[in-house]
Amino acid sequence: MTEKISPIALEIFKNKFSSIAEEMGVALFKTAFSPNIKERKDHSCAIFDKNGDMIAQAAHIPVHLGSMPLSVKSAISQVSINKGDMVFLNDPYLGGTHLPDITVVAPVFIDDEILFYVANRAHHADIGGISAGSMPLSSTIFQEGMIIPPIKLVKKGELQKDILKLVISNVRTPIERQGDFEAQIMANITGIKRLAELSHTHGKNKMSLLSKKLIEYSENMMRKTIQAIPDGEYDFVDYLDDDGFDTKKININAMITIKNDKVVVDFTETHKQVTGSVNAVKAITISAILYVFRSLVKEDIPTNAGCLRPIETIIPEGTVVNAKYPCAVAGGNVETSQRIVDVLLGALSKAVPDVIPAASQGTMNNLSIGGFDKSKGKSFTYYETIGGGTGASKYGNGESGIHSHMTNTMNTPIESIEFEYPLRVMKYRINRDSGGKGKNNGGDGIIREIKVLCAVETTMLSERRIFKPYGLNGGSNGNAGINKIMSGDKVRKLPGKFHQFLKKNDIIHIETPGGGGYGKNMKFKLNK
């Protein structure tokens, strides 16, 4: 007879599982070497059942978490995982996002049986490739860095030093990379210990049942949320500015069909894959779909495999939202994921207009800077994503100067940047009045200026420099972003995607987009 689980027990264990994932995250950023992980917290942690289905996650990075189950399942299917092993991988075509995001997967054995898996994904500030920071203007994945298939980083509790040496010999910052890998290992050890403690207290049968019930609970709540949306077909199209190689706009079309408690999301009319790195793999598109529909659920449910069960997807292979190997994909994770969200929310705004906000900035403004720091006698790579404005809604103005949607990182503090790198932050402030106007105004973007104190190379992958974040219900669009290089008295305006070699004292100037406005502004001035 199957043991019954009370709603109170389900709520308790929902929080127990998620708190373990959160503790894994704390262990990761507290022990990491790179500012990108320890300061920006560009990492994610989650817990999976023995089949690789996600049970619970920490409140980390949506684009990581929605795709991570596919990496976990790739690890399970391709590697014989034993007690004390950890597998790492970054292949976007096996559930990854882009090459700098490296996933480490570990089994949780209870009584010589795998009951769970724990995994974390962290963005490494360099994993090789043609430009510092591994976020290049690339035309193939081979230019973007070292591709790691599922392979054991830890075997029977021992770090595989030959494997680690192979990887860090192909990056610009080997000491930092090794420190971050070791932090990822420690995060998984933390999760393994906590889940073992929980299982030994409550028994593996109850833990397995709880895992199953939590997934079923999320599925049921997602179905109720979908059922509250009016049946019908809702479509929307928005555009990426370009792919960094030519100036052609790239359309992303979505048709959302709601019928009772089920959804079909169809990207059939979306642009074919392109030369540049804005191609997204299927895992990224699934992440964006999960994020959008999970955001509609009012209840505090666990984000897990159950959330996707009522959602059917049609994502044709060979499109910019499901690119074929070996397409370049470095920017698909960070830029195309944001536009997919904009398109899905735009479609849903036709179904539930009072719920959906206007477009947020729609880009992560990915800035990479690398070179050789003579004062420290070593190479460095700095990577940053820069916040912007969020879209206004029926209920209020958008937020200013924050990350939104598929990213959830912090900023790198000025003190950390200037301590770690030969860089000086000249400006860092809100870009006033960059949000769209309306009954409620969109949030404002950010202005950030960085002076380089030695010769460097820099890469920028950004969007919304041409197509502005849309307003809704009569609200105006947010301002587009602006990229500039200032060298002495010369100021050059650059496109959204560029790679440049800079000399000492050159300044990179970035203005990020504002969010769209919502509703018509009904305030009129009286004639005098």
- Answer yes or no: are the C-beta atoms of 183 and 32 closer than 8 Å: yes
User: What is the reported pLDDT for 510?
Assistant: 98
Provide the edge-to-edge strand list for the sheet that holds 366-373.
378-384, 366-373, 456-461, 497-502
- Eight-state DSSP code of residue 319: B
In sequence order, which residues have a C-beta less than 8 Å from that of residue 372 and are 6 or more positions away? 378, 379, 380, 454
CB atoms within 10 A of CB 286: 24
CA 117 to chain centre: 21
Quickly list DSSP for 194-239: HHHHHHHHH-HHHHHHHHHHHHHHHHHHHHHHHHTSPSEEEEEEEE
Candidates 399, 390, 408, 265; CA nearest to 334 is: 408
CB atoms within 10 A of CB 261: 16
Instruction: Return d(Cα 49, Cα 107) in angstroms, integer.
Output: 10
Instruction: Return d(Cα 261, Cα 44) in angstroms, integer.
Output: 30
- Answer yes or no: are the C-beta atoms of 141 and 273 closer than 8 Å: no
Q: Is the dihedral of CA 119, 123, 125, 131 positive or negative?
A: positive
Query: Helix, strand or coil for residue 137?
Result: coil
- Answer yes or no: are the C-beta atoms of 179 and 126 closer than 8 Å: no
User: What is the reported pLDDT for 526?
Assistant: 41
- Answer yes or no: are the C-beta atoms of 261 and 223 closer than 8 Å: yes
Candidates 508, 476, 469; CA nearest to 492 is: 508
- Answer yes or no: are the C-beta atoms of 412 and 39 closer than 8 Å: yes
Alpha-carbon distances, residue 233 vs 54, 221, 269, 323, 497 (angstroms): 30, 22, 15, 26, 35
User: What is the reported pLDDT for 523?
Assistant: 61
What tokens appear for 415 in the block? 């003190």
Instruction: Return d(Cα 476, Cα 438) in angstroms, integer.
Output: 6
Query: Helix, strand or coil for residue 109?
Result: strand
Angle between helices 282-296 and 68-78 (to 10 degrees): 130
Query: Helix, strand or coil for residue 499?
Result: strand
Instruction: Return d(Cα 40, Cα 411) in angstroms, integer.
Output: 5
Q: pTM of the full predicted structure? A: 0.96
Q: Is the dihedral of CA 128, 132, 133, 137 positive or negative?
A: negative
User: What is the reported pLDDT for 3?
Assistant: 65
Q: What is the pLDDT of residues 69-103, one digit of tens each?
A: 999 999 999 999 999 999 999 999 999 999 999 99
User: What is the reported pLDDT for 45?
Assistant: 95
What tokens appear for 293 in the block? 């529909």
- Eight-state DSSP code of residue 370: E
Report helix, strand and coil shares of the chain as percent, to nearest 5.
30, 25, 45
Burial of 377: CB neighbours in 10 Å, binned 0-12, 13-18, 19+: exposed
In sequence order, which residues have a C-beta less than 8 Å from that of residue 306 and are 6 or more positions away? 214, 215, 216, 217, 218, 219, 220, 222
User: What is the reported pLDDT for 6?
Assistant: 87
Instruction: Return d(Cα 483, Cα 497) in angstroms, integer.
Output: 9
Average pLDDT by stretches of 10, the chain with 528 residues: 76 94 96 95 95 90 88 97 98 96 97 96 97 97 98 98 97 97 98 96 92 96 98 98 96 98 98 98 96 95 94 98 98 97 98 97 98 96 97 98 93 95 98 98 98 98 98 98 97 98 98 97 53
CA-based radius of gyration for the chain:
23
Query: At 346, which helix (H) or strand (E)?
Result: helix 337-348
- Please report, to the nearest 10 degrees, the dihedral formed by the alpha carbons of residues 135, 126, 455, 331 taken in order: 10
What tokens appear for 22 in the block? 């959160």
* Domain residue spans of the chain: 7-218, 357-528
